[in-house]
Structure 1
Amino acid sequence: MTENLWPVVELRQYTLHPGTRDVLIELFDRELVETQEAVGMRIIAQFRDENAPDRFVWLRAFHDMPSRGAALTAFYIDGAAWREHAPAARATMVDTTNALLLRPSTTTSNFTLPTERPGAAATELPRSRVLATVYYPEGPLAEFAEFFEYRVRPLLVETGAAPIAYFQTDPTPNTFAGLPVREETVFVWFALFEDSAALEAHLDALSRSRTWTEEVRPELSELQSRREDQLRLAPTARSLLS
Structure 2
Amino acid sequence: MIGERHSTMDDTWPVVELRQYTLRPGAREVLIELFDREFVETQEAVGMRIIGQFRDEDNPDRFVWLRGFRDMTSRGEALTAFYLQGDAWKAHGGTASATMLDSTNALLLRPVAQAAGFGLPDRRPQAGATALPPSRFMATIWHLDAPVDDTFVRFFDERVRPVLTGTGAHPVARFETEPSENTFPRLPVREGENVFVWFAAFEDGDRRRAHLDRLARSAAWNEEVLPELSARLSRPTQRLNLAPTARSLLR
TM-score if structure 2 supplies the norm length?
0.94
- 2:167 is equivalent to residue 159 of structure 1: yes
Aligned to 1:179: 187
The runs of at least 4 consecutive aligned structure 1 residues that moved more than 6 Å come to none
Residues 63-82 of structure 1: CA deviation (Å, up to 9, x unaligned): 11100000000000111110
The residue that corresponds to 1:87 in the other structure is 94
Q: Which amino acid aligns with 2:197?
A: V
Aligned to 1:188: 197
SS at match of 1:218: helix
Q: State the one-letter code of the partner of 2:16.
A: V
- Output the CA distance in 2 between the equivalents of 1:4 and 1:198: 31
Q: Which residues of structure 1 form unaligned runs of 5+? A: none
Contact 1:137 1:144 in 2 (8 A): no
Residues 83 and 48 of structure 1, relative CA distance in 2, 3 Å threshold: same
C-alpha contact 2:105 2:189 (8 A) present in aligned 1: yes
- Return the offset for 1:204: 1.2
Distance 2:166 2:106 in 1: 31
Equivalent in the alignment of 2:60: 53
The equivalent residue for 2:176 is 168
Q: Percent identity?
A: 64
Equivalent residue number for residue 110 of structure 1: 117
Structure 1 residues 44 and 178: alpha-carbon distance in aligned structure 2, compared to 1, 3 A threshold: same
**CA distance in 2: counterparts of 1:97 and 1:225, whole angstroms:** 21
- Residue 141 of structure 1 aligns to a residue whose secondary structure is coil
Question: How well do the aligned residues superpose, as a CA RMSD in angstroms?
Answer: 1.1
Which residue in the other structure is 2:25 paired with?
18
Equivalent AA in structure 1 for residue 196 of structure 2: F
CA-to-aligned-CA distance 1:125-166 (integer Å, 9 cap, x gap)? 111100000001113410322221221111111111110001
Paired residue secondary structure (1:25): helix
- How many aligned positions are there? 240
Cα shift readout 1:85-106 (whole Å, capped 9, x = no counterpart): 0111011000000000000011
Letter in 2 for 1:108: A
CA contact (8 A) 1:103 1:169 kept: yes
> Residue in 1 aligned with 2:7?
none
C-alpha deviation, 1:124, in angstroms: 0.6
Query: What residue in structure 1 maps to residue 237 of structure 2?
Result: 228
Letter in 1 for 2:250: L
